[in-house]
Structure 1
Amino acid sequence: MVYTVSTLSSSIRLSDYLTEQRARLDKAVIENASKKHADMGLALGAQTGATTSFRSEYSQLESQLDTNRQLVTRLDVMNTALDNIHESNADFRSDLIALKSNSNNLKTASNLAYTELDKLTNALNTNVSGVYVFGGINTGTAPVNDFKSLPGGPEVQVEQAFQTFFGHSIDDPATEAIPAKGDPAGNDWETFLDSAGFKDIFGADWTTHWSSATDEKMTSTIENGVTTTGSGSANEKAFGELAEGLSIVAVFGKLNLNTEAEKFITDRAVNSLNSGVDKTIVIEAQNGAIKTNVERTNSDIIAKKDVLNMRINDLENIDENRAAVELSLAQTQLEATYAITAKIKDLNIMKYL
């Protein structure tokens, strides 16, 4: 029996073989470039689901880490603002105590107090990328009004409270005669500064005259099932006490007062500042503790990511040496196939007749 092979059948077989070698080369090139299996489903089989699950979990951890890092940035900014608030007011308190022994120096302190009120407002209106960190859950709006804002801002409220209590404006000559305390009718500075009409400006009516912040603060999820405070609030009692101490000096320190009244107002302002500074330091410490907790959580997340990355690489990564050999072989065999195909195309029966 004589077997024959036609030129057509040879060409078809070589064409199929050429396609196979081309696909093998493409696969080898991809694997050498990516260092991973070109076809995960084919290479991993039943383990494809595992690597998909690992990648999904890895992506979730990355997203959580990004969120937590943004939170750390906000907490850092809050810490800086709180540090500036307590240090600035502590320094002003010290200056106020030093000025107490000198008559008429309360007017100098008055100018400084206005500056400190501006600093307090600016610190509480601190924002990160448009997020006001002391806004509570109302983080899209600057929470604190300027002390001199009109109409009906805090300074206006303080002056109106004075006029309502004493029956005349603060710039009336009668102001100089107001005693520090002990007036039988209660028309003295002590009674006024303890009155609801004045105290409520910095307490019960704080959100009416000063702040648009909410008492409720943002919460942030820092890992599965764990949440933490993610913002501050300008409504903390500490800030009201600082504002009260500064306002007393700013508004009343510029008036013509008798010596005893000056000393009493200075003492009252110092007391408010003492309490406000102490409470601000406590808030700062609490904020620092939250930041430490978030950073510790971030370290745990990074460790989990590293473990997942190792498991993903174990499944998906190829042996680079083997891949290099496969690429070399695929190139060699493809070149050989091209050479053979070219020779077959050159065959012609006329050459043998």
Structure 2
Amino acid sequence: MKTSFISTLTLWNAPRSGVARMQTDLASALTELNSSRFADVGLELGYRTGTSLDLHRQLAELDAQKERNGLASLRLSGTQTILDQVREDGEGFLALVAPGKLSDDSAAAITQEASSRLAALTAQLNGAAGGQYLFAGIDTGKKPVTIYEGTPASAAKTAMATAFQAAFGTSQGTQPGAAAITPAQMTAFLDGPFTALFTDATWSANWSSASNRNITSRISGSETVETSVNANAGALRQLAMAYTLGSDIGLSSLSKPTQDAVYTKIRDLMGTAAAGVTSFQADLGRAQTKTTEATTRIDIQKVVLTKSLEDLEGTDPAEVKTRIDTLKTQIEMSYSVTSQIRGLSLINFI
């Protein structure tokens, strides 16, 4: 027969030995009640933990893709808004130089309007969203277009004055030199030296620091779209050409027939530019639609994956609540027994 040593301390500590475990279980149960998820997923799932981790990874990738799509949508929306303004300004200016609207006194007003719209175009092309320049191509940290009118004179304005002086031996707006320019001479200048001021090389040297490459955004695992228009695009250059021509050719100093030659060139440039801007907006609109559809598909995928995770890691609230009540009762009983034992002493029975 085996005997064991009994003391008050042994009896006192016996109920307390299980309290720590029950308190740990209670904390885990409370966590499960609040999160509706196993407190220790690895312990509960065992070999299926890998499946849980894979589902979490897929959800994280979808969240990251949705955030990238949001940035792309912001860029597309901002670009569309600016192009709307650019197109409306262009249409308004084109209406001013329509043949039926012109008179002998139109030159000064058109010069002022062209100057104002050139400044507006520059500001629009330097527009930004989310800390990135929208028309800078992939070089989103660089302001894409320089200001034409400024102090000191911009490279573009200096190049215009130099080309005019070389072609006609006089400066813009001078009398009687500019008044002697014939329509044929002006047409030759506009189709030659003036157009040369807006070629790829001279545009990049005097006007633009934008990249020729537009931003391409991945909107899903297998789909990419262009989500920007850069300031080097032909239609935007043609707008700058038309406004520069109207504002800095010295319209008021030219003869009426020569003015008509200038207006004809402006109308040609504006008509082509308007069609180009509309085409840009159509392309961006398709990109917006694809981005929205991709984001919708991501939301659907997230719902499916979230449901799979809930089925794998989720707890039954009723079962957890019952477990919590049971643990609380056991802990209270343990405290009660411990309190009663503290009042006992073997000395009282000797």
Q: TM-score, normalized by length of structure 1?
A: 0.93
**Pair 1:250–1:2, CA change in 2 (3 A):** closer
Q: 1:207: which partner in 2?
A: 204
Q: 1:304: which partner in 2?
A: 301
Counterpart secondary structure, 2:213:
coil
Deviation at 1:10, TM superposition (A): 3.2
Deviation at 1:231, TM superposition (A): 2.5
Question: Which residues in structure 2 correspond to 1:111-150 (within 5 Å)?
Answer: 111-149=112-150, 150=152
2:157 to 152, 155, 158: 155
| Residues 227 and 284 in structure 2, CA contact (< 8 A), matched pair in contact too | no
1:246 to 231, 243, 246: 243
Counterpart secondary structure, 1:220:
strand
Q: 1:48: which partner in 2?
A: 49
Overall identity of the aligned pairs, in %: 26
| Residues 212 and 232 in structure 2, CA contact (< 8 A), matched pair in contact too | yes
**Counterpart of 2:145 in structure 1: which amino acid?**
V
Deviation at 1:81, TM superposition (A): 0.7
Q: Distance in 1 between matches of 2:311 and 2:112?
A: 69
Deviation at 1:349, TM superposition (A): 2.4
Query: Which shifted more, 128-137 or 341-350?
Result: 341-350
Q: Show structure 1 runs of 5+ residues with no match.
A: 182-187
Q: 1:287: which partner in 2?
A: 284
Q: 1:94: which partner in 2?
A: 95
Q: RMSD value over aligned CA atoms? A: 1.8
Q: 1:184: which partner in 2?
A: none
**Counterpart of 1:223 in structure 2: which amino acid?**
S
Question: Which residues in structure 2 correspond to 1:6-45 (within 5 Å)?
Answer: 6-7=6-7, 8-45=9-46
Deviation at 1:144, TM superposition (A): 0.6
Q: 1:192: which partner in 2?
A: 189
Q: Distance in 2 between matches of 1:137 and 1:123?
A: 18
Deviation at 1:232, TM superposition (A): 1.9
Deviation at 1:261, TM superposition (A): 1.1
Q: Distance in 2 between matches of 1:2 and 1:127?
A: 88
Deviation at 1:321, TM superposition (A): 0.7
| Residues 148 and 156 in structure 1, CA contact (< 8 A), matched pair in contact too | no
| Residues 119 and 148 in structure 2, CA contact (< 8 A), matched pair in contact too | yes
1:332 to 325, 329, 334: 329
Q: 2:252: which partner in 1?
A: 255
| Residues 107 and 253 in structure 1, CA contact (< 8 A), matched pair in contact too | no
Deviation at 1:100, TM superposition (A): 4.6
2:180 to 177, 181, 191: 177
1:90-124 CA-to-partner distances (Å, cap 9, x unmatched) read: 01110221675310311111001000001111111
Deviation at 1:152, TM superposition (A): 4.2
Q: TM-score, normalized by length of structure 2?
A: 0.94
Deviation at 1:129, TM superposition (A): 2.6
**Counterpart of 2:107 in structure 1: which amino acid?**
L
Q: 2:170: which partner in 1?
A: 168
Q: Distance in 1 between matches of 2:5 and 2:64?
A: 63
**Counterpart of 1:349 in structure 2: which amino acid?**
L
**Counterpart of 2:303 in structure 1: which amino acid?**
D
Q: How many residues align?
A: 346
Q: 1:315: which partner in 2?
A: 312
Query: Which shifted more, 250-259 or 207-216?
Result: 250-259
